């Protein structure tokens, strides 16, 4: 059968269209000229009847139910894990492709977990569901993969500094409210996070497990190994929530099989699609969350040799709502169209 033309309009559903990621998916579908024919904006019963903006018009939100996926080519899921668990198979059953931003399917052997610059071939084996990695993992693997291809990454020690929008709208609202409380001379009151996030840094992203690691930290380990096909790679991590609206930062200490100089590391990082190096200490040039907010590239700086070993230090930032979520999900759909998979 001949491939469907790539510009043939697709029927697209956005699940969680009223949320932090869903809003960016809607914006980027239009911005990237994705071939959208019909657009279905889906959310919970609470939002049914509201409108969301898409390509200069208002689209009425419907409740996300199985029937809403009849005839859908691509469904972008940016809601809850439990919703993805029940509804993504409904999309696949109807012949569509569910691209899921939740944690639900990422480690399932039957489901590709994809960053298109790194492992696009995994898409060929899809069975109607494709998982998009965690927002922290995406920036992390984008910085690691070029070094891995050049010198073989053995181990990484990483500390992340994660924006509140990584927790969705409740995180953004909590920081905004607590900043206003502080401005009024009041104590910030925690609600969504257990401890005040304004004027603070919390070494807790999501929730703690019995072994003392946070669930976010374990995602970083397992997802990295799957995406990079590196089951032996050691990842030692601490994930920290910081009072930044958008943009996850991370400091990485990378051990490689073969020694790689900072100069060569900058070269291979710069040559990798979707990565940009901003690194000139003499001019105080390094990337920050503010620099990356609103951009799709992963920015890397502070590349330097460790003083105590042959390892390399890097600083990496990415927009958690764009490359960490919406952009990566849309790139997956674009790649599937390019490959004639939809």
Binding stretches for ligand NAP (CB under 6 A): 16-22, 43-44, 46-47, 64, 78-81, 83, 101-102, 134-135, 165-166, 168-170, 320-321, 324-325
Cβ proximity to ligand NAP: between 142 and 312 the closer is: 142
Give the nearest distance from C-beta 280 to ligand NAP in angstroms. Answer: 29
Closest contact distance (angstroms) between CB of 77 and ligand NAP is 7
Smaller CB separation from ligand NAP, 219 or 311: 219
Q: Which is nearer to ligand NAP, 92 or 312 (CB)?
A: 92
CB of 66 to ligand NAP, least distance (A): 12
β-pairing verdict for 234-241 and 275-277: unpaired
d(CA 279, CA 262): 11
When CB distances to ligand NAP are compared, the closest residue is 19
Cα–Cα distance, 121 to 336 (Å, whole number): 10
DSSP E strand stretches across the chain: 10-15, 36-43, 51-54, 57-63, 74-77, 97-100, 129-131, 153-162, 234-241, 248-256, 275-277, 298-305, 312-318
Dist CA 70 CA 111 (whole Å): 22
Query: Which residue from 114, 328, 329, 146 is spatially nearest to 252, judged by alpha carbons?
Result: 146
Are the CB atoms for 158 and 140 separated by under 8 Å?
A: yes
Give the whole-angstrom CA distance, residue 51 versus residue 222: 38
- 248 catalytic? Reply is yes
Least distance between ligand NAP and beta carbon 31 (Å): 18
Q: Do you know the residue count of the chain?
A: 342
Q: 126, 132, 239, 248: which one is catalytic? A: 248
134 versus 178: smaller Cβ distance to ligand NAP: 134
List strands edge to edge, sheet with 10-15.
Answer: 51-54, 57-63, 36-43, 10-15, 74-77, 97-100, 129-131
Choice among 126, 132, 135, 239 that is catalytic: 135
CB of 275 to ligand NAP, least distance (A): 19
Comparing CB distances to ligand NAP, the nearer of 213 and 313 is 213
Catalytically active residues are 135, 248
């Amino acid at each position: 059968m001949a491939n469907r033309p790539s510009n043939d309009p697709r029927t697209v559903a956005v699940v969680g269209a009223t949320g932090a990621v869903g809003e960016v998916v809607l914006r980027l579908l239009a911005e990237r000229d994705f071939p959208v024919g019909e657009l279905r904006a889906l959310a919970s019963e609470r939002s049914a009847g509201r409108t969301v903006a898409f390509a200069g018009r208002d689209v009425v939100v419907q409740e996300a139910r199985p029937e809403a996926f009849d005839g859908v080519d691509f469904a972008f899921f940016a809601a809850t894990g439990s919703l993805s668990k029940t509804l993504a198979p409904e999309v696949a059953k109807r012949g569509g492709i569910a691209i899921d931003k939740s944690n639900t399917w990422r480690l399932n052997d039957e489901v590709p977990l994809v960053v298109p610059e790194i492992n696009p071939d995994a898409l060929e084996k899809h069975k109607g569901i494709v998982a998009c990695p965690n927002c922290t993992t995406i920036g992390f693997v984008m910085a690691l993969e070029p070094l891995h291809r050049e010198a073989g990454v053995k181990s990484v020690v990483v500390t992340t500094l994660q924006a509140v929008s990584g927790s969705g709208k409740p995180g953004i609202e909590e920081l905004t409210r607590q900043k206003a409380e502080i401005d009024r001379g009041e104590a910030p009151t925690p609600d969504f996070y257990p401890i005040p996030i304004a004027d603070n840094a919390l070494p807790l992203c999501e929730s703690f497990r019995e072994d003392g690691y946070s669930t976010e930290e374990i995602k970083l380990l397992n997802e990295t190994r799957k995406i990079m096909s590196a089951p032996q790679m050691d990842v030692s991590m601490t994930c920290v929530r910081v009072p930044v609206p958008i943009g996850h930062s991370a400091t990485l200490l990378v051990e490689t099989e073969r020694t790689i100089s900072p100069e060569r590391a900058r070269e291979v990082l710069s040559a990798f699609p979707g990565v940009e190096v901003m690194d000139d200490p003499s001019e105080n040039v390094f990337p920050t969350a503010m620099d990356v907010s609103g951009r799709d590239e992963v920015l890397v700086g502070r590349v330097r040799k460790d003083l105590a070993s042959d390892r390399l230090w890097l600083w990496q930032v990415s927009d958690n709502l764009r490359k960490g979520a919406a952009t990566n999900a849309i790139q997956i759909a674009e790649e599937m169209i390019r490959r004639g998979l939809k």
